[in-house]
Structure 1
C-alpha cells in the first residue's frame, strides 16, 4: 500500500488543540489512484447499504479508512462527516414514499445532539485499543437485536409522555455511540425504533436517517475543532454514497421486512468477524 503522510497533513483540518493523541503524523492515508478508487467503491457500498437499512454507513467507512491508513480515531471522525450527504440523500428518498416520522426524528435528535458531543469528547480521549473493542461490542449488540426483531411494514409510533421521554433518553445513548464509534447511529436507531417503539421497518429507517443528519453535522464540527477529520476522504465517500443511496431505498421497499432484517444481520456478521480479528491482532502487539 502506498503511504503518503504529506498528503494527510494537508487534508486534515489544521486546528491546534494541543492534544497529542490527535497528532496527524499517526495517519498515512493511501491517496494514490488505487486508494481513491477504493474510497469511491466504499461510497457506492455505503450509499446502497444506507438506503437499504437506514444506516449512515459508518460500519463500512470506519474499517475501510483504517485499512487505508487512518487510525481508528481519525477514521471514526472522518466517517461522521461522510455520513452527512449520505443521510440527506436517504432522507429525501424515504420522504418521497412518506416513510419518515418527522416529529419522532426531532425528538431523537434532541437527545442525539447532547450524546454526540459527549461521544466526540470521548473519541479524542480514549485509547486506540479501547475504540477498536468498543466497535466490536457494538456490532455484536446490534446483530443480536436485529436477529431477534420481527419487523412490520404497517405499524407506527404512538406518541405518549412515556414514549417521548424514552425517545430522548435513547437519543442520548445513540448520540454517544455515534460520536464515539464514527457511525451515524442508524445501526442502533433502526432496530430500537422497531423493537422498542413499534415503528414499521421503512419508517424506522427513514426516521433514523433524518435524526442522524443534524447529529452528524454537529458532531463533525466538534471533530474538526479537535483536528480529527480527513476532509478529502469524507467528501469522496460521502458524495458517491449520496448518489447511490436512492438505489438502496428502492431495494428496501422491494423486499419483505423479514428479508431485509436477515440481510442486515448477515452484513453485520461479516463485519463483526473482521472487526474482531483486527482488534484481536492489535491486542496481541
Structure 2
C-alpha cells in the first residue's frame, strides 16, 4: 500500500468524506473506503477487511450524534445485531476464500440492488417501527443477510440497513440511520477480530480513516436533520449511482485482465 505523504493525505481526505457521509446517510462508509484503499494498492480482500476496522470509531460517533436527538431504536438495533453477528462471521469466512473477481462483481450487484430500492421508496420522517414477535424474527433474519454482505464486501451494513429498515419495517429516515449505525458497530468489531486473526487488516490505514471520520460525523448528522427525507433519499441515490459507475468500470477492467 502507498504510505507516502501523498497516500497519507488521501487517507485523511477519505476520513473526512466518510465522516460526512456516515452522519448524513447512516452508513459506515465502506462504499468509499474500499475503493479508495484498492486505489492505494490494497487488494479487494484486504481493503474490505481494513474498512471494517475503520468503521468502528465512525459508527460509534454517529450513534452518539443520532441518540442525542432521540433518533435511535435500541431494541431494533439489538435484534438486527444478533443476526449481523452470525452473518458477519459467515461473510468474513467467505471473504478469505472467494476469488478477487467475484468480490468485485458482488460489490456491483449489491449497489444495483440498493439503488433500485432507494428509487422506489421515500421514507416518512414521522413513522416508527412497531415491534411484534413476527417483526422481531424478521429483524434478526434480515440482520443475518446484512451481516454476510457487510463481512463479504467490507461495508458496515448501513447501505442496506437504512433503506431496509424504512421499506420493510416502517422506520423514519432519521431513526433508520441512527439505528443502523448502532447495529453495525458491534458487528464491525466482531468481524474485524475475525479478519485480524486471518491477517487481512491494514491497521494504520484503518485508524487514520476511522479517527478522522469520527471527528467529522456529527457535522454529517446535522446535515441529515437539515434536509427533507426526499432530498436525503435523492442524495443517497446519487451517491450510490456514482459508486456503481466506478465499481462497474473496475469490475469490467478486472474481468478483461
Runs of 5+ consecutive residues of structure 1 not aligned to the other structure: 1-28
Matched, 1:265 2:233: no
Report the counterpart of residue 186 of structure 1 in structure 2: 158
Give yes or no for the alignment of 1:106 onto 2:58. no
Task: Show CA shifts across 1:88-112 (max 9, x none).
Answer: 0000000000000000000000000
SS at match of 2:126: coil
1:88 equivalent to 2:60? Answer yes
Q: Could you tell me which residue of structure 2 aligns to residue 253 of structure 1?
A: 225
Q: Deviations over 1:218-245 (max 9, x none)?
A: 0000000000000000000000000000
Q: How far apart are 1:150 and its partner, in Å?
A: 1.4
CA distance in 1, matches of 2:196, 2:187: 14
Return the offset for 1:114.
0.1
- 2:132 pairs with one of 160, 164, 170: 160
Rounded Cα–Cα distance in structure 1 between residues aligned with 2:153 and 2:104 = 9
User: d(CA) in 2 for partners of 1:172 and 1:81?
Assistant: 19
CA distance in 2 between counterparts of 1:148 and 1:40 reads 35
Tell me the CA shift for residue 147 of structure 1: 1.1
SS of the counterpart of 1:88?
helix
Identify which of 13, 38, 45 aligns with 1:73.
45
Show structure 1 runs of 4+ deviating over 2 A.
none
* Deviation string, structure 1 residues 178-198 (Cα, Å, up to 9, x no partner): 000000000000000000000
Tell me the residue number matched to 1:243: 215
Which has the larger Rg? Answer: 1
Superimposed CA distance per residue, residues 1-45 of structure 1 (whole angstroms, 9 cap, x where no aligned partner): xxxxxxxxxxxxxxxxxxxxxxxxxxxx10000000000000000
- How many residues in Structure 1 have an aligned counterpart in Structure 2? 257
Aligned to 1:176: 148
Deviation at 1:149, TM superposition (A): 1.2
Structure 2, unmatched stretches of 5+, are none
Distance, in Å, in 2 between the alignment partners of 1:274 and 1:185 is 20
How large is the RMSD of aligned CA atoms in angstroms? 0.3
Return the match for 2:188 from 216, 224, 234: 216
Separation of aligned partners in 2, 1:254 and 1:275: 30
Paired with 2:77 and 2:9, the residues of 1 have a C-alpha distance of: 34
**SS across alignment from 2:171:** coil
Q: Which residue of 2 aligns with 1:120?
A: 92
Pair 1:133 & 2:127 matched: no
Partner of 2:250: 278
